[in-house]
Structure 1
Amino acid sequence: MTQPKTHTLDVPGAVLYYDVRSNDSSSAPVLLLIGSPMGATGFGTLSGHFADRTVVTYDPRGVERSERTDDATESTPDEHADDLHRLISALDAGPVDIFASSGGAVNALALVARHPEQVKTLVAHEPPAAQVLPDREQALAASVDIHETYQRSGLGPAMAKFIMLVAHKGLIPLDFADQHGPDPANFGLPTEDDGSRDDVLVGQNIISCTHYQHDFEALRAASTRVVIAAGAESTGEMAHRAAVAVAGRLGTKPVTFPGDHGGFLGGEYGMKGEPDAFAAALRQVLI
């Protein structure tokens, strides 16, 4: 595997940055590692575990290097799926394998529903697909409340509520969205509103991602092998429960991966999962 080489791709409404770690001797499909709103930086450690094949990472629209060229305030899974479709086409390497985590898993499932011919295997890790949960109304309301809190009070209060939501285990209470959020300072978050409203998580993606209606009929009919993954340490959390529900809708069972929602991280963004064990599990699934 070579050092990553950075490329850009013009897409409607954005310029995408992506990095290619080439291994010209590999006959395996290109491995695309994606998240949302996590960018390429989050997959540095995981990429290093797959030096025997070509690995591609990218920054989704509005994230890190991939600046938007339109004035839209929301990014949708369908837009992200179209971006991925264009990126895979630009790679011109045939069907790829994809590991997609969190919102990236939602976007990759949308891609497969539309363009299954572009993806050999998709490992979708903990997609926060709230629409399939039995407590969907509470989950969706909480997501809307987080976004509205951001618009009203700024990043700190919104992110504090987000952390409270994603860490909650079990069914979300009926009054969850009405509860007063925790003190942002408890999480090291800013307590002052800086006036910006362009955060990609609580501003641009949280409602469109959690509210997305997946085309399960298309996914079940797809030529792509779809594997749903869930963290061993995140049982009961919204994204884990959604992964179990999505797998059920596909007629499969989720594969348990080491760690929690960020099990693949090796210190990126200050978070450390179990990257060695996680990479070994991913390799076993991709064989």
Structure 2
Amino acid sequence: MTTKTLNQVSVPGATLHYEVTGSGPVLLLISGGATDAAAFDGIVPQLAEQYTVVTYDPRGNSRSPYAGEPADERVDQAAEDGLAILDLVTPYSPAYVFGSSSGAITGMELLVRHPDRVRLLVAHEPPAVELLPDATSSREFFFQVYETYRRDGRVAADRLFLGGIGMDEADELPPLTELPPEFREVMERMDANSDVFFEHKLLPFTTYRPDVAALAELEDKIVPAVGSESSKVLPAEPILALSERLGWSVVAFPGGHAGYTTDPFEFATLLLRVLAGKVAR
């Protein structure tokens, strides 16, 4: 069994919890939304056979507390958080990066701001709706989720949000009481992040405007990715629109928006092939 080490690093306004597993070139995995490092537990063991896999809890989530009161997220700050971790684990060499959902947005900003620190970015369904030719309805949807949270609370906002990104009730897990204790603990921990996500992260990330010109210049360092079961749903649409605009090929990973949890072996297998350059781009 590959040993996992748990670590912390102080950054402006927060303390980040990060985990390191395996050996070899560094692969940073960036989770999105209200999730934390545990979102990737299903794929880390397989990836760690070839890479030093680094995961972390984004600021404000789970074991990465704010230094003070929560504040609205800034994507540039999120990118600098990722850089702070890379500076510790691989200060002299660029890293591979995989980001999903808002984690992919963080990865895109990290690549644009520090292209010398990223060897390759796999951007899996970043919900940056400003990339769409007409972002009006998608922009309104996320604002409606935010307003629902403020008016009716996180349960109602969760229902609206998950339905809008294609993760409806059919994809829901069994009741927490029916899950193994260790898995229940993780789910409860991430569920507790929902307030911070809806209040301080949802709109700042979804209204983020990527630097398209800079990304076009860095096309050899980015792999656009979607879920094979979610390619026609909102979170996949922005990266598809960007790829069509720039003439990029898109890699379809197994499963939906969270395919790394529902199809971990197949997902990790394809990710290893992408990182090794064995998938046509």
For normalisation by structure 1, the TM-score amounts to 0.82
State the SS of the aligned residue for 1:167: coil
C-alpha distance in structure 2 between counterparts of 1:21 and 1:198, whole Å: 27
Runs of 5+ consecutive residues of structure 1 not aligned to the other structure: 170-181, 190-195, 266-272
1:223–1:256 Cα change, 3 Å: closer
1:40–1:93 Cα change, 3 Å: farther
Give yes or no for the alignment of 1:104 onto 2:103. Answer: yes
1:224–1:156 Cα change, 3 Å: same
Count of paired positions: 254
State the SS of the aligned residue for 2:133: coil
State the SS of the aligned residue for 1:7: strand
Deviates more, 1:208-217 or 1:152-161: 152-161
CA shift for structure 1 position 165: 1.5
**Cα-Cα RMSD:** 2.4
Map 1:231-242 → 2, pairs under 5 A: 231-242=227-238
State the SS of the aligned residue for 1:128: coil
Do the aligned residues in 1 keep the contact of 2:22 with 2:50 (CA within 8 Å)?
no
Residue 14 of structure 1 corresponds to 14
Q: Which structure has more helix as a fraction of its residues?
A: 2
Residue 193 of structure 1 corresponds to none
Give yes or no for the alignment of 1:147 onto 2:146. Answer: yes
Deviates more, 1:218-227 or 1:93-102: 218-227
Do the aligned residues in 2 keep the contact of 1:21 with 1:54 (CA within 8 Å)?
yes
Map 1:21-100 → 2, pairs under 5 A: 21-23=21-23, 26=24, 29-37=25-33, 38-50=35-47, 51-91=49-89, 92-100=91-99
Residue 206 of structure 1 corresponds to 202
C-alpha distance in structure 1 between counterparts of 2:259 and 2:193, whole Å: 29
Percent identical among aligned pairs is 35
Q: Name which of 246, 265, 278 aligns with 1:276.
A: 265
Runs of 5+ consecutive residues of structure 2 not aligned to the other structure: 177-191, 277-281
CA shift for structure 1 position 197: 9.7
CA shift for structure 1 position 224: 5.8
Letter in 2 for 1:107: T
C-alpha distance in structure 2 between counterparts of 1:197 and 1:125, whole Å: 21
Letter in 1 for 2:102: G
Do the aligned residues in 2 keep the contact of 1:73 with 1:198 (CA within 8 Å)?
no
Letter in 2 for 1:141: E
